[in-house]
Structure 1
Amino acid sequence: MHRAPSQNSNISFGRRWRFFTALAVALSALGVSISAPAEARSGNGSTAESQKQTSRQAGKPSVKRAAAKAAARNNFQRVAVPAGPLPPTVMAALARAHVPLSSVSVVVERIGSAGVPLVALNANQPMMPASTMKLVTTYTGLSLLGPDYRWKTTAYADGEVDTNGILHGNLYIQGTGDPKLVPEELIDLVNQIRRNGIAGIDGALVLDKRYFDPSTRDLPAFDADETAPYNVGPDPLLYAFKSLSFTLTPNPEGGVSIDVLPQLAQLQIDNELRVTRGACAGTLPAASPSVAQTSGGFVQASFVGDYPLRCGSRTINVAALDHSTFFAGGFLALWKQAGGTFAGVTREGPTPASARLVGTHRSPVLSDIVRDINKFSNNVMARNLFLTIGAATGKPPATTQKSAAAITAFLHRSALPMSGLYLDNGSGLSREEHITAQSLADLLTAANSSPVAQVFTESLPIAGVDGTMRNRLTNAGALGNAHIKTGTLRDVRAIAGYVGAANGESYVVVSFINDPRSEAARAAHDALLEWVYEGARRTGSME
C-alpha cells in the first residue's frame, strides 16, 4: 500500500485557489440538480472582477428607475385587469413534457406597469421555489447589512510567548460565519498571527463557534448523498465549503497521480489505483474515494480500482469530516507551511475575556459573496448568510427562527407582506420552503428600485453567458439580455429575474414548476424567457 501525505509545501495560494474557489462554488450547485446535473455543470472559473467585466460586456436589462419606484408604491393596489394566457410556445413545451397547468405558477410583469401582470397563472399559490429562494436571502442581506459588509475571523492568544516565539498557552479562532473562508483568505490570518511574534503553539487550538447556535449544526442531510458538497451545512468557521477536491491524472507508465485541495494537516492518501487500457465508460467507481478517520488522529482517503487511461484527468469533490475537524486540519496545514509549529490538541470552546487579539481577517465584501451565491447557486454560502442576517441584526447566537423573523420583518417594512412565504434555511435546498410567484415578483420589482438594485441584478446569472444560465439560450435573442436565477430540485424547476426585451422594455419574470415531470419542462421556461425578450406581445390583448 502506498501512503502519501497530502501536504505540499509548494502550494500557490493565488491561481490554484482562485480556480478551486470558483470550481467548488459551481460544483456546490449540484444540490439544486438532484435529478438534472446540467445546472451544476454551468459554473465557470471567473474571478469576481472578470465576472463584473463579463456582466458589463453582456449588458443588463434596461432599468427605468422612476417607473419602477411608482410600480413599487402601487404594488398592492393592483388594477383588476385579467392577465393573458401563457404563450403558445410555452403551452406546447408543457404539453410535450406532460406537465399540467395546475403544476405551474407564472407571473410576468413589465417594469413600470404599476403591478399589472401580463401573465399570471396560479400566481398566489405557494410553491417550492428551489434555489430561487436565494433571491429573498440575498436581497435582504444586501439591504440590511449593506453591500460592503464583511465577516470577521479573529485570533486571540492567552499565555506567554517565549524568546523563540513559542506560545505557552492556547490560540483561539473565533468565527462569525464567513461564507468564503478559503485558503488564500485564511492564510492572511495565519500571517497576522506570525507577525505578532507567535511561531509555535504548545497549548490547544480552540475553535470559538458561539456565533451560530448549536441547533444550526449537525442537521440531517437533504438527501441520502451525505458526502455531496450541496449537503454541507452552515458553520461559524466554514472552511473551503468543507469539501475536498481530488484531481486524478493517469499516466501511460501505469500510475495515477492524485492532487487534493485544500490541504489538511491530518490527511493521508492511500493510492491503489491501476491504469488500464480499456474504454472510458460509466461512472468510474475508482475515482470515488472512501474518507475515514483512523487511529492516531489521521484522516485517510482511499482510492482503489482500475482507472482507464482514456478517462484522462478527473476532479471529484467530497464533503467529508465534521466542520471542526476540517477547519482545524486546514488551519494547521497553512500554519505549518508558513513555518509554524504545533504541539497541542484541538477542541471547541469560548474565548476568555482576558485573551489578547493577535489577528483579524475580514472577508470579501458582501456584494462579491452574493455574486457567488446567485451565479453558482451555492447552498452553504446562502445558509451562512441567512444565519448571519439573524445574528448581525439582532443578537448572537444565530438561529433559523431569528433569521426568518429578521427577514420577514424587513419585508413587511418594505411593503412586501410576501403571502405564502415560509423560510427554512434560506437556500431553497428544502422541501419546506415555499413562496408564491406573485410574492417573488413583488420582491424583484422592489429590488429593482432599491439602493442595491445594480449589485443585486448583476449577481444573477446571465442567459448564455455565466453561472447556472451559461449553457441556456445560447442561440436565442435573450442571450446576454436576461438576468435569471434558476432553481432545481427533484420535481421542481424554477426561474426568476429580469429580462431586457428587444423593444427596450424591462420585465420581471417568475415561474415555478412543481411536478414529477418538471425536468422535461425546462424548455417551457426557456420559451417563456424568449417570448418575453421578443416583447411579450399577445394577439388581441394588451401588450
Structure 2
Amino acid sequence: MRSFLKEEISNRQRIKIFFFALFIFSFFPSFAQKHKEKEKKTTLFDEIELLKKDDDFKHVTWGICVVKTDNDSTIAEYNSEVSMIPASTMKVITTAPALSLLGKDFRFKTLIQYTGNIDKTGTLHGNIYIKGGGDPTLGAYRFDKTTTVDYILKQWMDGIFQAGINKIDGAIIGDASIFEDELIAPNWLYADIGNYYGAGACGLDICENAFTVYFEPSKNEGDSAKIVRIDPDVPNMEVINKVTVSGPSKEGTGVYINGTPYSNLRIFEGKIPLNKKEEFEIYGSQPDPSLTCTYLFDKFLKSECVEISQKPTTIRLLKMKNQLVDTLKRKTIFTTNSPTLEEIVYQTNLRSLNVYAEHLLKMMGYIVNNEGGTYSGIKAVRNFWSSRGVDLSGFLMEDGSGLSPMNNVTPRHLTEMLRVFTKDATFTSFYNSLPIGGKTGSISNILKGSAADNNLRAKSGYMYGVRSFTGYVKNKKKEQLAFSIIINNYECKAAEIKKKFEKLMIKIAELD
C-alpha cells in the first residue's frame, strides 16, 4: 500500500513538473528574441543616429564624413559641410602638401659663415654668422645624436677651427631672416604662447624653441616650489616663480607659463604634486630662439678657450638698435643638414608637434612664394589643395598646427584632402606618419582588439571643447576609406567624447 501511495505521489510530482516546464518554455521564445535583439550589433549608421539623440551632444556642433578613396562615393555623413575648429587634425592639411611641395628627401640647412679676414695668428677680424635655414630639429632629442645640442655646437666649433680661426675679433651673430620676425600666428591665445606647445617658428632655432624647468623634489604641502635649473640656458630670461606644492594627490596640479615672444619675462604659476624623491619638469617657449642659439654657441666656444671680443647678438636686434649690420660677403665654412622631411613629418604627426608644423608652413611659403611667413605658407597650402580639386568653401586656415581657435574646417574638407592625396607620389610617407590604432601615438591606448586595431591610421586633435579624428582605415572588404569626425563645444568629460568617437571609428572599420 505504501509503495502504491509513493508511486502515486511521484506521478503527481512528475505531472506538476511537466506543466511547470511547459509554462516556462511557452515564454522562452519571446525571452530569447528579446535577448537576441539586445545582443544585436549596431552599425555605423546606428551609432550616428544614437549620437544625434545623445544628451551630451544636445548643444554641440559635430559632424562625420566617410568616403571611399578609390572614387568619390560617400559612405556616411552627418553635418559634413559644417565648418568647425579642427584642433591638431589641421596638421594633416599642412604636412601632406609639405611632403609633396618640398619632397620627402628635403633637408633644412643651417650655415656657419664668417666675414672679414683671418690673420696669421688665427684671429678673425670680423663676425661669425649662424645662418638659419628654418630647421625645427636643431638641438632636438627626437632623432639620433646628430641633432643634439652638444653634437651640433661641437661640429660648428670644429668647422671654425678647420677654417684656421681660434680667436674672434667680432661677434657671433644669429641670422633668422629666412622667416619673418613674427614667431607665432597672430591669433594664438595668450594662455598658450608661454608654454612649450605655443613655441613659434623662427628662422634660426634651438631645442625646438623650448626650455625645461626642473623643480627640486617637494617635501611639504604648501611650500614654494624651488627651481633647480633651466635647460637650455636661455639668455636674459627673467623668471617670476609662483609655483607651490600641492598635497599627495595629483588632482588639481599643473603648471602654466605666461610670456610672449621677444619678452624676457616668464611667469610660472600653478601647483606641482608632492614628491619627495623626483624632480618635477615643466616646459616653456623661448623668448628669442635665434638669440638663444647664438648665445649657446658663444658660450660653448668660450668654454673651449676661444676669445670673442663682442657679445652675441642677432640681425633682428642689430636692426632694432639701428646698429650697422655687416654687409661684407660671407664665406660658408660648415653646413648642418636636418633629418629628411619624411622623418620630420613622421615626428610631427606622431607627436603632434606644433612647432614643427609651423616651420613646415613657413618653409612652404618661402619655397613657393619667396616669403617665409605664416600667411605666405597658408597661401601655398590653399593653392595646393584647390589645384587638386578640393572645394575650399567654408575653409579658414590661420596656422599650420591647429593651435589657433580661428581655424575652420569641415569633415568633408578633411576627407576630400585625404582622398585626393592617395594619388600623390609621397602618399606612402604621409600615410606612415599617421599614428596606428591601438599601437602608436595618441591612439595607442584605444581601438585595441577591434577591427580598427593595427588597421586604422589617424591624426587626432584636442583642445578645450574640441575633439577630432581624421585618417584612413580598411573595411571588411579591404577597401580603403578616408574619414573625419569633429566635435566642438562639448561640456562633458573629454574622455567620454573620446570613447564615443572610438566606437564610431570601430564601426567604420566594421563596414562591409
- Partner amino acid, structure 2, of 1:452: T
Relative distance call for 1:380 and 1:93 in structure 2 (3 A) is: same
Which of 196-205 and 135-144 deviates more? Answer: 196-205
Query: What residue in structure 1 maps to residue 68 of structure 2?
Result: 110
| Compared CA separation, residues 149 and 262, structure 1 to 2 (3 A) | same
Aligned length: 445
**Contact 1:267-1:301 within 8 A present in 2 as well:** no
**Residue ranges of structure 2 left out of the alignment (5+ in a row):** 1-41, 141-147, 220-224, 316-324
Alignment check: 8 A CA contact 1:151 1:178 kept: yes
State the shift of 1:283 in Å: 5.3
What CA distance in whole angstroms lies between the structure 1 residues aligned with 2:176 and 2:464? 33
> Contact conserved, 1:265 with 1:332, CA < 8 A, in 2?
no
**Corresponding residue of 1:513:** 487
State the 1:137 CA deviation: 0.9
Shift of 1:366: 0.6
Q: Which residue of 2 aligns with 1:444?
A: 418
Query: What is the rounded CA distance, in whole Å, between the counterparts of 1:507 and 1:289 in structure 2?
Result: 41
1:394 is the counterpart of 2:364: no
- How far apart in 2 are the matches of 1:217 and 1:288? 18
Q: Secondary structure of 2:197's match?
A: helix
How far does residue 101 in structure 1 lie from its aligned partner after superposition?
8.8
Q: SS of the counterpart of 1:357? A: strand
1:377 aligns with 2:347: no
Rounded to whole Å, the distance in 1 between the matches of 2:92 and 2:232 is: 29
CA–CA separation in structure 1 for the residues paired with 2:382 and 2:166:
47
8 Å CA contact retained: 1:391, 1:402: yes
Secondary structure at 1:250 match in 2 = coil
More displaced, 240-249 or 437-446?
A: 240-249
2:340 to 365, 368, 384: 365
The two structures, once aligned, show a CA RMSD in angstroms of: 3.8
- Report the counterpart of residue 495 of structure 1 in structure 2: 469
Distance 1:303 1:532 in 2: 43
The one of 207, 220, 227 aligned to 1:240: 207
The one of the two structures with greater contact order (alpha-carbon pairs below 8 A, sep at least 6) is 1
Would the alpha carbon gap of residues 272 and 445 (structure 1) be closer, same or farther in structure 2, given more than 3 Å must change? closer
Residue identity opposite 1:193 in structure 2:
I
Cα distance in structure 1, aligned partners of 2:314 and 2:387: 39
351 and 432 in structure 1: CA distance in 2 versus 1, 3 angstrom threshold: farther
Identify the residue that residue 408 of structure 2 maps to in structure 1. Answer: 434
Q: Does 1:262 align with 2:232?
A: yes
Moved more, 205-214 or 89-98: 89-98
Alpha-carbon distance in structure 1 between the residues aligned to 2:352 and 2:119: 47
Q: Are 1:314 and 2:290 counterparts?
A: no
Note if contact 2:476-2:509 (Cα within 8 Å) is conserved in structure 1: yes
Which amino acid counterpart does residue 431 of structure 2 have in structure 1?
T
- The CA distance in 2 between the partners of 1:453 and 1:304, in whole Å, is 43
Task: Note closer, same or farther for the CA distance 1:290–1:162 as it changes in structure 2 (3 Å cut).
Answer: farther
Which one-letter code corresponds to 1:241 in the other structure? E
Deviates more, 1:410-419 or 1:480-489: 410-419
Which runs of no fewer than 5 residues in structure 1 stay unpaired? 1-83, 293-297, 538-543
Structure 2: how far apart are the matches of 1:270 and 1:86?
52
Query: 1:69-127: CA deviations, max 9, x gaps?
Result: xxxxxxxxxxxxxxx99533455466556114971111112333x21111011112222
2:436 alignment partner in structure 1 = 462
> Residue 328 of structure 1: which of 279, 282, 294 is its match?
294
Question: Which structure 2 residues correspond to residues 43-442 of structure 1 after superposition, within 5 A?
Answer: 87-92=45-50, 95-96=53-54, 98-100=56-58, 103-112=61-70, 114-182=71-139, 184=148, 186-187=152-153, 188-215=155-182, 219=186, 221-248=188-215, 250=217, 258=228, 260-264=230-234, 279=248, 281-282=250-251, 308-310=274-276, 312-337=278-303, 340-349=306-315, 352-395=327-370, 397-442=371-416
Partner of 1:62: none
Question: Identity across aligned pairs (percent)?
Answer: 24
Counterpart residue identity of residue 391, structure 1: Y
- Specify the structure having the higher radius of gyration (Cα): 2
Secondary structure of the corresponding residue to residue 237 of structure 1? coil
In structure 2, the partner of 1:73 is: none
Task: Give the C-alpha shift of residue 146 in structure 1.
Answer: 0.3
| Distance apart, 1:403 and its partner CA | 1.8
Q: 1:174, 1:351 within 8 Å by CA — same for their partners in 2?
A: no
* Match among 510, 528, 533 for residue 504 of structure 2: 528
* Contact 1:264–1:332, Cα closer than 8 Å, also in 2: no
Conserved? CA contact 1:422–1:432, under 8 Å? yes
Displacement of 1:334 after TM fit? 3.8
Shift of 1:339: 5.0
SS at match of 2:450: coil
Asked if the contact 1:150–1:365 (Cα under 8 Å) also holds between the matched residues in 2, the reply is yes
1:245 aligned counterpart, secondary structure = strand
CA deviation digits over 1:295-314, x for unaligned, max 9?
A: xxx99999999984446332
3-state SS of 2:282 partner: strand
Q: Normalising by the residue count of structure 1, what TM-score does the alignment of the two structures yield?
A: 0.72
- 1:277-301 CA-to-partner distances (Å, cap 9, x unmatched) read x73645568x889999xxxxx9999
Partner SS for 2:57: coil
Shift of 1:217: 5.5
The change in CA–CA distance for 1:280 and 1:193 in structure 2 (over 3 A counts) is farther
SS at match of 2:190: coil
Q: TM-score, structure 2 length as denominator?
A: 0.76
Structure 1 residues 311, 447: closer, same or farther in 2, change over 3 A? farther
Q: 1:245 to 1:319 in 2, by over 3 A?
A: same
Post-superposition CA distance 1:181-203 (Å, at most 9, x none): 11626333343233322333331
* Alpha-carbon shift at residue 368 of structure 1 (Å): 0.9
- Amino acid corresponding to residue 488 of structure 1 in structure 2: Y
Q: Deviations over 1:2-49 (max 9, x none)?
A: xxxxxxxxxxxxxxxxxxxxxxxxxxxxxxxxxxxxxxxxxxxxxxxx
Give 1:165 shift.
3.4
Supply the AA of the counterpart residue of 2:352: S
What amino acid is the match of 1:327?
A: C
Question: Which deviations, in whole Å up to 9, do the C-alpha atoms of 1:419-463 show, x marking residues without a partner?
Answer: 322221121111222222112111111222221111000111112
Measure how far apart 1:140 and its partner are.
0.6
